[in-house]
Structure 1
């Protein structure tokens, strides 16, 4: 087991879109629209103290999706687990959410979207972080995956998968990142 202190830093802005009844429920009729800042704020993930966060499952999914990109050349340890995800079996990202670190905070991003049922284009507002970073702790079971393989996956995830809305994995430019801290320790 290895413990890894990690910080990732955004190289493109991070666009957040929390799916909730508040953001997708009512309020779509033109007479009941909220202010852009209120609509954007409703799309933020926040912790109990009200700070913007990224949920741990979102980051884990980002790394799992990177594994999918290099599956044919991955470093398998045993044939018995060949069909399973090595990341899902061997990696634990500690905590349920990571606070978004940003010097500038979030701003309102305005984009048009098309409503599939009507074909109508409407304005929608998202929170965007132009500068951002996440710090988190990972525990890696080296029986499943090497530290070097995990680092390669996180690097690929930052370039080709991304975090948040309209990311590279969804044909968008947002949410790309690079690793700025990677400190490996032996787990107790």
Structure 2
């Protein structure tokens, strides 16, 4: 990766993305709640939007820390996602996604899931490229930003473990 001069930092709020969708019968499982895989697709999509807004270049998903399903999202409700870049490293960005369900007829909302993902910025040749730092402003942004280094360390340890598993259980070449 070619070394570049430091880019000007950007406000976290400038990477915010919001997405809402009705939960239709074709989106649900036998319990008439949103398929987990469908939600995971929405999460990756909106996180990619935030990462790209922040980096203003191509981005790819490097990892999903977790998707913690807290409450089911019922058919007929809306699923609402909000994402924001919370922290950056040299070429990578941590994106937080908050998911809630809304019963539009009653006007009630509940947090249904949260997720952290990591994206890497790529230049036109597909090589990792420098990303700007983020500037938190609100209490929520400060909390997410200040707790990010601990998540980054956990992520690095988990990646080492994944590499160990891949080496142990990887494809065996025929003799």
Q: TM-score range by the shorter chain?
A: 0.3 to 0.5
Higher relative contact order (CA 8 A, sep 6+): 1
Q: Larger strand proportion, structure 1 or 2?
A: 2
TM-score by length of 2: 0.34
